Chain A
Amino acid sequence: MRGQALKGRLDLLLRATLHDGAKHGYPVIEHLRERSAVAFDLPEGTVYPALHRLEHGGLLSSEWSVVQGRNRRTYRLTEKGHSALGEQRRAWDEFSGAVASVLAGSEWPATA
């Protein structure tokens, strides 16, 4: 599943990967890839602008550290990010439940 299918959902998914704690960019992207069973296999370099956008919007915060001589930026969900994630999760559950219900409910009736 490439970027187009993820459009509009990437921010939610990135925040969900950070729900259980702070991570730097590489594990965030790996987590997204692995948890989706490689279904979300988008060019990894395009994820960073989304992380930066979320940070700018106050949904993530980040801090630098030096690990093995390299600068590493670790992202974490802010209070606002946690709250927004909860709301969007509920909205998504409602939406996906409704879609699943419609799809499971019936095949298109064959009319005589």
Chain B
Amino acid sequence: MARYRLIDAYLASLRTRVRWRSDVEDHLYSAAERFEAGGIDGDLAQRAVLERFGDPDLVARAYATAPYGGLAVPTSSTRAAGTYAIASAVLWAGVIGAWWATGLIEPGYEWRTGGASVTDMLGGIALIGAVSFMVAAMVGLARRHGGLGPLGTSGLAVTGVGLVAALQPWVFTGWGALTVAGVLLFAAAMWRQGVAPRLPTLVFGVGPAVGLVTWSILRGAQGTIDLSGFWGEHWFENAAGLAVGGAILAAGLLGLGRWLRAEGLAGTGSTDGAIPA
């Protein structure tokens, strides 16, 4: 908010130490408006507000040391969650590559009875890794905020079941549907509580669902969606659905991962913590 340059500078400084729910911004701007309404000059009002709010280091320490007070406190496990999210994004790209390679090399490939091809095996391993790292990243995100409520817990649980289902990668409608539902629920909880930047949260949340819609449209265009056929009968539609959903999901995970990795640990930030003059 250009009108409040001192408060903006303070928030930028605090942001290097700790992420918080946006009630802090609301507090500072509301307080400044109230001072101004009382006839106090803009800069003077902001200084008074920041003086009362406390030094950024002190506030960051309060978040870091209060049990569960740090609903938005970055920790080393938060940074690890960022790494897991990025690893998951890379592995999702691997799954997409493996599915396309399988389809292109052997278009009529039958997963269950044809024996495992190299690309098929690599795809299965990448899938288990991708979902595992994604679940680990989701756990880290939830822990960073002291939990994300029933919606977030449900999303995590459903995605966890999806991970178990992914141990049989060829049952892609099973793990796929669970991933769509789990990620959507979890991202909805993230969105509702405003715990992460909106864009990667949205991209992450809708990615698998867009993949499902793409797959349904492509399969629907062939007549009825018959789930009893083997993978190779519809390899293009299956690989295309995965490519769209997986790529969008990976982009969201990459965004969240980079954001989590970029956080400074509370209490270990730079020393420029003085209230802006």
Contact = CB atoms under 8 A, between A and B. Distances in A.
Contact of A56 (B27, B62, B71, B193): B71
B150 interface: no
B220 interface: no
B192 interface: yes
Interface residues of A, number: 23
Interface string A58-92: 00000010010011110000000000000000000
A53 interface: yes
A56 B147 contact: yes
A21 interface: no
B27 A29 contact: yes
Contacts, number: 86
A62 B20 CA distance: 15
Chain A's interface: helix, strand, loop or mixed, by majority?
helix
Given A45-B59, A64-B192, A71-B194, A53 B69 contact: yes
Nearest to B30: A26
A25 B59 contact: no
A56 B146 contact: yes
B49 to A, nearest CB: 9
Nearest to A73: B23
A43 B66 contact: no
A32 to B, nearest CB: 12
Interface stretch (B50-58, B84-92, B106-114, B238-246): B50-58
B173 to A, nearest CB: 36
A45 B49 CA distance: 10
Contacts of B23: 24-25, 48, 71-73
A8 interface: no
Interface in B1-50: 20-27, 29-31
A50 B164 CA distance: 38
Contacts of A56: 68, 71, 146-147
A45 B54 CA distance: 6
B70 interface: yes
B102 to A, nearest CB: 45
A50 B69 contact: yes
B63 interface: yes
B68 A53 contact: yes
Interface in A4-37: 24-26, 29
B58 A46 contact: yes
Interface in B214-236: none
21 contacts: A25-B23, A29-B27, A44-B54, A45-B24, A45-B59, A45-B62, A46-B54, A46-B58, A48-B23, A48-B24, A48-B27, A49-B62, A52-B69, A53-B69, A70-B22, A70-B26, A70-B29, A71-B22, A71-B26, A71-B194, A73-B26
Given A24-B23, A70-B29, 6 more contacts: A25-B26, A48-B20, A56-B68, A56-B71, A56-B146, A70-B26
Interface of A: 24-26, 29, 41, 43-46, 48-50, 52-53, 55-57, 64, 67, 70-73
Closest 4 CB pairs of A and B: A49-B69, A43-B54, A45-B59, A49-B66
